[in-house]
Amino acid sequence: MNQSSYLLSNDQLLEVFNLTHTATAVHVGETAIIQAANDAMLRIWGKDRSVIGKSLEDALPELKGQPFIEMFRKVWLEGLVISGKDTAADLEIDGKIQTFYFDFEYRAVKDDGGKTICILHTAIDVSERVLRQEALEREREKAEALEREQALNEELAATVEELAATNEELVATNEELQETQETLHVLNNELELRVLERFNQLSESEKRFKTMAEGTDIFIGVGDENGNAVYFNKSWTDLTGKSIETLLGFGWVNLVHPEDRDKYVNVYLSAFEEKKAFTGELRILNKHSQYQWLLASATPRFDADGSFAGYISSCVDITERKLIELERLNLSKLIEASSEFIGLVELDLSIQYLNPAAIQKLGWKSIANRTILDCVFPDDRATAELLLPGILHNQNFREEIRFWNEETGKPFWIEWNGFAIKNEANDEVIAMATVSPDITERKIYQEELQAINMEMAAANEELATTNEELAQTHEDLIQYVNRLSDSEEKLRQAIETGRMGTWSIDPKTLEISMSGFVKALLGLPLDQPAAMEAVMQAINPEYHDMLNSALENALKNHSSSDTEYSINNLLTGEEKWVRATGRVFVDQHGNATEYSGLFIDITEQKLDELRKNDFIGMVSHELKTPLTAINGFVQVLQRKAKKDEDNYAIIALDKAHSQIRKMTTMINGFLNVSRLESGKLLIEKTDFNLEELLKETIEETYISQSSHQITLNTTCDVTIHADRDKIGNVISNLISNGLKYSDNGTKIEVSCKLSDTEVEVQIKDEGIGIKPDDIDKLFERYYRVQGNHTISGFGIGLYLSAEIIERHHGKIWAESEEGKGSVFHFTLPLK
């Protein structure tokens, strides 16, 4: 490839400028005509690309009277480099003249003869740093003023002592006493004026700092010497949607992404110990429940006596930069992980890049000194040599060809896709790229299919030659039928080997037939037809209603069935667990002709699951003991902190107590799942008033969480016969779900509907809603909605709720629209 093919066009050069965050522009002529400027420089100027081609004074009229235009002229005429640090410039942004500070450089770029051909202009906005330094300088001035004020007070004290001594000496002289009193009066007035002036200076300094902080988009915060936040500017409340009080109460920590929280807090605490500056990147949850990347920088503050006074911190939004980094990383990972053959080839056929899958397929160690022809199987290189020159004429190609592995010497087929890469400036071809899938398996199938077709053609030709061969073919067909019979026998053996059997029910007579495996499993005679009464006798009675309902639904609606239940062998009494799947077959008129399926022994899997649940129940039970002790110690510390009025400890212990309460809820959930699946979750029904239960549950929710408004429509004044604690758990879980998936300040509405036979409870929220694909899976064990893993939980609350309602012979379901909230319903029978 010749060197000129790498030259960039103006548009490509501008794209390169736009890739850097450093503001960069190119000017020509004494009037500094703008030849090019990247997006970063346009943002500093507050202009769009319409300024390209204008002189600097025409593009930025506000620079008239400032030294910059004359500097450009001097650099152009004399070929100099002029730079500056912390230089102030007045720019018009959104119609307002504002002062910014920059580190800048105007550099003359010369040709080989020493003549200036353009000026390279770079600038870095350091307004934040300068303003921070000014703020620190004002703090220093404040400290020095306080020192002067202290010295003045000491001077006043000394003067008072001198006046006292003078008063004793001049008791006899009223005239001298009067003069001394007048002197003292003058000194007092002067002191009052100095104190008032200093107070005004301090107030004005603080007012300027807050004006600056509230007027900037930078996120500014101030902390005291104990690590407590004492100030957040308006940018923080706009970002998080939280009040100043919440943020100051250490609430900002809860907004940090869980993956960043411990790391950032450790950096903060480590710096706090040494009273030094620190920086860090972290993600903060904004008011739209999305995370934004911030670059945080914190500088320690010190009082006049050198004592540590806390931190002043500033954060800037770097979300866009982080997203670009992630996008590039993902694209690179996608290419690296691709199983296709991906490469980039120079026009001299040398290889510039191959992805790992391609290198592995070729059996190479590296691509150094390799050409694309080295990839091609020697027998196919003549074909490749005919294809490759066409790339120079922008002739893309697609060809099935063989590459080969040098280590094994074996070829493999690929669909070779070659396409030209062109220089955007002059449309000249500068390289070739290839993205080619491996089609070896397909080619093998094609060759096998071709061989089969050839064999079939030969067989047909032979069949047409003589009647004798036709008769032979007939005999072959008979043998094929026999092989089919053998295949059916092998299938039956395979089913029985897999601890499975078959069954069938006649839809008209309800006569049942089943394989020997099923009869042996139930303890039925192998040499006699199976009777429905004997089958039901072997099945655990508590599952009879379920199976009768499944049979009726299948024959009526022609639906499939899949059930699990326990049986007792009629001969040995041994208990086993089985799974029965069924399907209805219909004739051309839609009438059911057969209801049949598989009968599978799942005893081992069921026992494993029961053992797992017993283990979870045991572990959860053992966790409750230390958790109860921890809760007790936290409560003791809370009382001590309140007694000592230690606000920091009170806040921290309240958060600890909240986390203990969440962990207790999760452990109780696991215990209930274990009890449910081991048959130990008891339903103890009593008569109680539903409206009273709803009120109690809502009041308990307000005690632990007060971020939402929960309303109850009092139409539930009805007495039901159910397990009060279990139904209370269902209501509490549904309300908690609404709180989790709704923004702070939204409403949760609880209401009821009464009918003659049942009561229906509705819990409605204004949250993020649920996708249609997730609605039917919400009540499955451990199921969690995709895309919401930032919200804690294990997916057992709704599963337990559904099982509790089912054991009360009720129904539970959800209705939702994405972005507009959800409504959860459940019913309970009145009789």
pLDDT reported for residue 339: 78
284 versus 480: which is more confidently predicted? Answer: 284
**C-beta atoms surrounding 315 within 10 Å:** 24
pLDDT reported for residue 362: 92
Tell me how far apart the alpha carbons of residues 97 and 102 are, in angstroms, rounded to a whole number: 16
| Residue 518, SS3 per DSSP | helix
pLDDT reported for residue 491: 44
pLDDT reported for residue 708: 78
Task: Say which CATH architecture domain 682-829 belongs to.
Answer: 2-Layer Sandwich (3.30)
174-196: per-residue pLDDT in tens? 565 566 566 656 666 665 565 45
Confidence of residue 371 (pLDDT cuts 50, 70, 90): very high
Please give the backbone phi and psi of residue 789, each rounded to the nearest 5 degrees, phi first.
-75, 0
Widest CA span in the chain: 162
Averaged pLDDT, 505-515:
88
pLDDT reported for residue 611: 61
Confidence of residue 278 (pLDDT cuts 50, 70, 90): confident
pLDDT reported for residue 373: 93
pLDDT reported for residue 377: 94
User: What single DSSP character describes residue 319?
Assistant: H
pLDDT at 199 over 60: no
Tell me how far apart the alpha carbons of residues 315 and 167 are, in angstroms, rounded to a whole number: 61
pLDDT reported for residue 557: 86
pLDDT reported for residue 773: 76
**606, containing H or E segment:** helix 603-644
Averaged pLDDT, 433-456:
80
Three-point CA angle 699, 700, 702, nearest 5°: 65
Q: Are 57 and 42 in contact (CB under 8 A)?
A: no
Tell me how far apart the alpha carbons of residues 384 and 403 are, in angstroms, rounded to a whole number: 10
pLDDT at 490 over 50: no
Kindly report which listed range (59-68, 78-87, 733-742) carries the lowest average pLDDT score. Answer: 733-742
Task: Say which CATH architecture domain 498-601 belongs to.
Answer: 2-Layer Sandwich (3.30)
Task: Say which CATH architecture domain 3-125 belongs to.
Answer: 2-Layer Sandwich (3.30)
- % residues pLDDT > 90 (the chain): 14
Which of 162-166, 249-253, 826-830 is modeled with the greatest confidence?
A: 826-830
DSSP string, 363-381: T-S--TT-BGGGGB-GGGH
- % residues pLDDT > 70 (the chain): 76
Beta strands in 336-463 (DSSP E): 341-345, 351-354, 397-404, 411-422, 429-436
Nearest to 725 by CA among 699, 686, 698: 686
Going across the sheet that includes 429-436, the strands are 351-354, 341-345, 429-436, 411-422, 397-404
Residue with tokens 């059916």: 488
Residues 6+ apart with CB under 8 A from 648: 226, 227, 228, 250
667-676: per-residue pLDDT in tens? 665 555 555 5
Confidence of residue 280 (pLDDT cuts 50, 70, 90): confident
470 versus 387: which is more confidently predicted? Answer: 387
758-794: per-residue pLDDT in tens? 999 999 998 888 887 777 777 776 555 655 544 444 4
Tell me the pTM: 0.30
pLDDT at 413 over 90: yes
**C-beta atoms surrounding 384 within 10 Å:** 21
Kindly report which listed range (205-209, 213-217, 423-427) carries the lowest average pLDDT score. Answer: 205-209
Confidence of residue 214 (pLDDT cuts 50, 70, 90): confident
pLDDT at 470 over 50: no
**C-beta atoms surrounding 831 within 10 Å:** 7
**748, containing H or E segment:** strand 747-754
Per-residue exposure over 515-543, b if at least 16 CB sit within 10 Å of its own CB, e if not:
bebbbebbbbeeeeebeeebbeebbeeeb
Query: Which class for 112: exposed (0-12), middle (13-18), buried (19 or more C-beta within 10 A)?
Result: exposed
Give the CATH number of domain 216-325: 3.30.450.20
Kindly report which listed range (210-224, 328-342, 657-671) carries the lowest average pLDDT score. Answer: 657-671
518-546: per-residue pLDDT in tens? 888 889 998 888 888 888 998 999 889 88
pLDDT reported for residue 334: 66
**C-beta atoms surrounding 194 within 10 Å:** 14
86-117: per-residue pLDDT in tens? 898 988 888 888 888 999 999 999 988 889 99
pLDDT at 593 over 50: yes
Averaged pLDDT, 729-738:
85
- Fold category of 338-443 in CATH: Beta-Lactamase (3.30.450)
**C-beta atoms surrounding 239 within 10 Å:** 21
User: What single DSSP character describes residue 708?
Assistant: S
Averaged pLDDT, 136-163:
75
Q: Percent helix, strand and coil across the chain, each rounded to 5? A: 50, 25, 25
Nearest to 731 by CA among 747, 712, 715, 746: 712
Confidence of residue 11 (pLDDT cuts 50, 70, 90): low
Kindly report which listed range (156-165, 169-178, 431-440, 702-711) carries the lowest average pLDDT score. Answer: 169-178
pLDDT reported for residue 477: 45
Q: What is the mean pLDDT of the chain?
A: 79
pLDDT at 285 over 80: yes
